[in-house]
Structure 1
Amino acid sequence: MTDDDQLTTNRRVIEQFRAGGEVDGMHRDRLLLLTTRGRRTGELRTTPVLVVDDDPTGLRFVVASGAGSPRVPGWFHNLVDQPVVHVEVAGDAYDAVARVAGGTERDGLWERLVEAYPFFVEHEKQAGRELPLVILDRR
């Protein structure tokens, strides 16, 4: 998929999500809209991403997989630079502080992630890099 195709798809998904209806090819309850501030432009950027709610810990986190791309997604670089983000999930919207999970925390979240979504094992192999897990702490 080209970058232009991805942008077109993202725009459609964002519009459908915000309208409250069905989202093409995605489960609404597994989707989150993440708004970051562009590190170079300063402009707000919204990206649909898969969300994982870790029930035992109450954490909500996302994966910077880029669908298994060797490139880390731009939104990840943006939130590392400016960790205050805006989160939209079905029925809720709030500001959060993003932080990258590391060490044993990441290990535990990775186990939870691949239990729920086994395809991320293949995404990580395909990407040739460790996929960052980003925790979204509500402000």
Structure 2
Amino acid sequence: MPDTETSAAEMAAHRANNTVPTDAEMAAFNKMIIDDFRANNGKVTVDPFKGAPLVLVHHVGAKSGKERIAPLAYDIDGDNVIIIASKGGTPENPAWFHNLVANPDTKIELGPDVIEVTAEPLTEGEERARLYQQMADKMPNFHEYQKNTDRLIPVVVLHRK
């Protein structure tokens, strides 16, 4: 398992310097978060996500067909789990978003539970705006991410099956 202090420090340095981590740095960081999530029954105990509401979203590569897992912040709306495809406010959507568009039937790990879901991307409209606002009001970094990009950041509704 990667050194949690090093991984967290590397990510903090990227945020402070407004730089993008390498693919290898992101993979190591995500593995650390996923391992911690699973070791602690769905709770994250390491910075910078200590205590944050995180869900593990399984997704299948649109081109590769490989299964991947993304640890993401989430919110609940009724019976649905809501995630935001912010990628920190970069100009492009995250790879997991494209994968869920191509392969919407998947599963998530929410706390200790594995739940089958269908992903519904919302790229415009009142429902997208409402859900984005709801989550950003709880996690203000999402307000900042939208300010940092010209794209309208999509919301993904994960409907339980």
Mapped to 2, the partners of 1:134 and 1:99 lie a distance apart of: 6
Unaligned runs of at least 5 residues, structure 1: none
Compare 107-116 and 42-51 and name the one that shifted more.
107-116
Question: Is 1:106 paired with 2:148?
Answer: no
Q: What's the offset of the Cα at 1:23?
A: 3.1
Q: What are the equivalent positions in structure 2 for 1:26-65 lying under 5 Å apart?
A: 26-28=49-51, 30-54=53-77, 57-65=78-86
Unaligned runs of at least 5 residues, structure 2: 1-20
Q: Conserved in 1, the CA contact under 8 Å of 2:84 and 2:132?
A: no
Give the equivalent residue in structure 2 for 1:16.
36
Percentage of matched positions with identical amino acids: 31
Give the equivalent residue in structure 2 for 1:88.
109
Q: What's the offset of the Cα at 1:126?
A: 1.1
Mapped to 2, the partners of 1:126 and 1:29 lie a distance apart of: 22
Question: Is 1:71 paired with 2:108?
Answer: no
Q: Conserved in 1, the CA contact under 8 Å of 2:52 and 2:73?
A: no
Q: Which residue identity lines up with residue 118 of structure 2 in the other structure?
A: V
Mapped to 1, the partners of 2:136 and 2:65 lie a distance apart of: 34
Tell me which stretches of 4 or more aligned residues in structure 1 moved more than 2 Å.
none
Q: Which residue identity lines up with residue 32 of structure 1 in the other structure?
A: V
Q: Conserved in 2, the CA contact under 8 Å of 1:85 and 1:98?
A: yes
2:149 pairs with one of 127, 130, 136: 127
Greater relative CO, 1 or 2 (CA 8 Å, sep 6+): 1
Compare 108-117 and 77-86 and name the one that shifted more.
108-117
Mapped to 1, the partners of 2:159 and 2:33 lie a distance apart of: 24
Mark the structure with the bigger radius of gyration: 2
Deviations 1:62-100, CA, capped at 9 Å, x for gaps: 001112221211000000001012100112111100001
Give SS of 2:148's match.
helix
